[in-house]
Amino acid sequence: MTDLPAWLPPALAYIPQWLGYQIRATEQPGCALAVAYKGEIVFEAAFGHADLVAGEALTPRHRFRVASHSKSFTAAAILKLREQGRIGLDDPVGSYVGGLHPDTATATIAQVLSHTAGLVRDGPDCAYWVDRAAFLDEAALQAELIAAPTIDAGTRLKYSNHGFGLAGLVIEAITGEPYGVWVQREIVDAAGLLETTPDAPVPNGATLARGHGGKALLGRRLVFPGDQSTHALASATGFVSTAADLARFFGQLSPNAERSVLSVASRREMSRPQWKDPWSPLAQSYGLGTISGSFDGWDHFGHSGGFQGYLTRTAVVPARDLTICCLTNAVDGMSHVWLDGTLSILKRFSDDGAPSPALADWIGRWWSVWGPTDLVPVGDKVVLASPGMASPFLKASEMTVTDKDEARISQAGGFASFGEPARLVRGDDGAVTEVRIAGGRSVSETALAAELVTRYDTLSSSRSG
């Protein structure tokens, strides 16, 4: 096992406490999260359900439809063929695939992989995205590629699943093998991934997390099977994987990776931001099968995916040798929010360091009628984290411990209790039983639940009667 920086284990220890509460509070079906450091999995966990209706608990071994993560595998396959001298990024795509519109045929391989070939996103009828029709087979895809591009190539970033379907046809033309067969052997297996396939169905013995619909329409979530083949669009959206396998693979795409299916030069070319998204609310760019962005000074690349009933995201932070993958199984899944929340926790511990041993008792979840507050020691401070927040440390109050059981609120917003005291209250056995923060009193979840039932259940029953 790679030696970990001192700040990383305590950061990883807090992540499941926060994310577990997020699942509980948002009533999302499920989430799988994995973190890799220098290519090795140092954390993986699953929360919630793989199938709400069946009551099946989600585990880290459940596979998800990871949709457009497939594009990163496809781009890696093209770059591996380039390393073998079998294709060039400036080659016209029409050199490998016939029957294309003349303007599409002149688009380069690099333009296809960077979504700048001007191609249609999903064709004139994309009913397959909502399970009203089967995904396109090769003949149907090629029939749609006869149409002219939507815009001129090389003018702006314009996402295209059809474009990556075309990239899959290029791989088949060069290798003489079906896309899934060649990519499974030369990319997936070569990367050491044991829980990843280029398309459904999953192998015998593997388990698939089911997708789920939203709750607002019917007041309940319906289960989506998620096991349909994506046929000729597997190169754009077919992949099935786990959070751990995706973290391993994307970690190998980092230019810093010690082991990879690609050369350093290919990884640099693939992961560098090349085309900015001109209309994104958050600054992001696209490379060759990768999405780039930044979080609070941490530059990252990776990809995201949306399949009926699934939302997923992976990010690599090369400067910290970290890869984070967050998979959710609902159409309103919070993979983007929770991945950013994970980044915020990791960054706070990275900035402030491992907690001082003197703060060992200033820890845990404490409840008031307003909800929970987590005492989280970081460096020489105790953060009053809000687990109900997507970013639990964002502008959170901080305490400086002045004695074993005494502290002062040393950082807080203007509407909080800056400068006021805090203390731990212990029982006869010496264990902490409650926390006093300024004028407030927070207790364990069990104690607060009992108190509120005693105070309010009778009143609620009499009013309802």
In this prediction, residue 254 carries a pLDDT of 98
- Whether 395 and 298 map to the same domain: the answer is no
- Whether 381 and 336 map to the same domain: the answer is no
Beta strands in 78-212 (DSSP E): 211-212
What letter would DSSP give residue 328? Answer: E
In this prediction, residue 171 carries a pLDDT of 98
The answer to whether position 463 is within a domain reads: no
- Whether 256 and 201 map to the same domain: the answer is yes
- The pLDDT of residue 459 is above 80: no
What is the pLDDT confidence band of residue 1, given thresholds at 50, 70 and 90?
low
What would the pLDDT profile of 79-109 be if each residue is shown by its tens digit?
Answer: 999 999 999 999 999 999 999 999 999 999 9
Mean pLDDT, all residues of the chain: 96
Domain count, the chain: 2
Residue 355 CB neighbour total at 10 angstroms: 22
In this prediction, residue 460 carries a pLDDT of 61
CB 102 within 8 A of CB 248: no
Tokens standing for residue 93: 């795509």
The answer to whether position 464 is within a domain reads: no
- The pLDDT of residue 67 is above 60: yes
The answer to whether position 465 is within a domain reads: no
- Whether 239 and 210 map to the same domain: the answer is yes
Q: Is 259 exposed, middle or buried (0-12, 13-18, 19+ CB in 10 A)?
A: exposed
Tokens standing for residue 337: 């929010």
What would the pLDDT profile of 192-247 be if each residue is shown by its tens digit?
Answer: 999 999 999 999 999 999 999 999 999 999 999 999 999 999 999 999 999 999 99
- Whether 198 and 95 map to the same domain: the answer is yes
- The pLDDT of residue 465 is above 70: no
In this prediction, residue 282 carries a pLDDT of 87
Contacts of 347-352 with CB under 8 Å at 24 or more apart are: 347/295, 347/296, 347/297, 347/298, 348/11, 348/378, 348/383, 348/393, 349/7, 349/8, 349/10, 349/11, 349/14, 349/378, 350/5, 350/7, 350/8, 350/11, 350/320, 352/7, 352/378, 352/379, 352/381
The answer to whether position 32 is within a domain reads: yes
**Residues contacting 61, CB < 8 A, separation 6+:** 195, 206, 207, 242
Tokens standing for residue 77: 């396959």
Quick one: what percent of the chain has pLDDT higher than 70?
A: 98
The answer to whether position 456 is within a domain reads: no
- The pLDDT of residue 8 is above 70: yes
Distance CA 33, CA 204 (A): 24
- Whether 50 and 100 map to the same domain: the answer is yes
Q: Is 32 exposed, middle or buried (0-12, 13-18, 19+ CB in 10 A)?
A: buried
CB 174 within 8 A of CB 184: no
What would the pLDDT profile of 131-175 be if each residue is shown by its tens digit?
Answer: 999 999 999 999 999 999 999 999 999 999 999 999 999 999 999
What would the pLDDT profile of 270-298 be if each residue is shown by its tens digit?
Answer: 999 999 998 998 899 999 999 999 999 99
What would the pLDDT profile of 165-186 be if each residue is shown by its tens digit?
Answer: 999 999 999 999 999 999 999 9
- Whether 196 and 331 map to the same domain: the answer is yes
Phi, psi of 195, rounded to the nearest 5 degrees: -125, 30
In this prediction, residue 458 carries a pLDDT of 75
In this prediction, residue 242 carries a pLDDT of 98
Q: Is 335 exposed, middle or buried (0-12, 13-18, 19+ CB in 10 A)?
A: buried
The CATH number covering residue 91 comes to 3.40.710.10
Range of the domain at 151: 1-353
In this prediction, residue 457 carries a pLDDT of 86
- The pLDDT of residue 461 is above 80: no
- Whether 413 and 303 map to the same domain: the answer is no
In this prediction, residue 427 carries a pLDDT of 96
Domain boundary among 353, 379, 397: 353
- Whether 174 and 307 map to the same domain: the answer is yes
Distance CA 458, CA 453 (A): 8
- Whether 417 and 279 map to the same domain: the answer is no
Report CA-CA distances (Å) from 232 to 164, 172, 419: 10, 11, 63
Domain boundary among 353, 369, 402: 353
The answer to whether position 462 is within a domain reads: no
Instruction: Name the one residue in this structure whose structure tokens are 């349909």.
Output: 228
Length of the chain as a residue count: 465
- Whether 329 and 422 map to the same domain: the answer is no
C-alpha 317: how far from chain center = 13
- Whether 304 and 205 map to the same domain: the answer is yes
What is the pLDDT confidence band of residue 328, given thresholds at 50, 70 and 90?
very high
CB 199 within 8 A of CB 230: yes
What is the pLDDT confidence band of residue 464, given thresholds at 50, 70 and 90?
low
What would the pLDDT profile of 365-411 be if each residue is shown by its tens digit?
Answer: 999 999 999 999 999 999 999 999 999 999 999 999 999 999 999 99
Quick one: what percent of the chain has pLDDT higher than 90?
A: 96
Domain boundary among 353, 378, 401: 353
CB 324 within 8 A of CB 241: no
- Average pLDDT of the segment spanning 65-91: 98
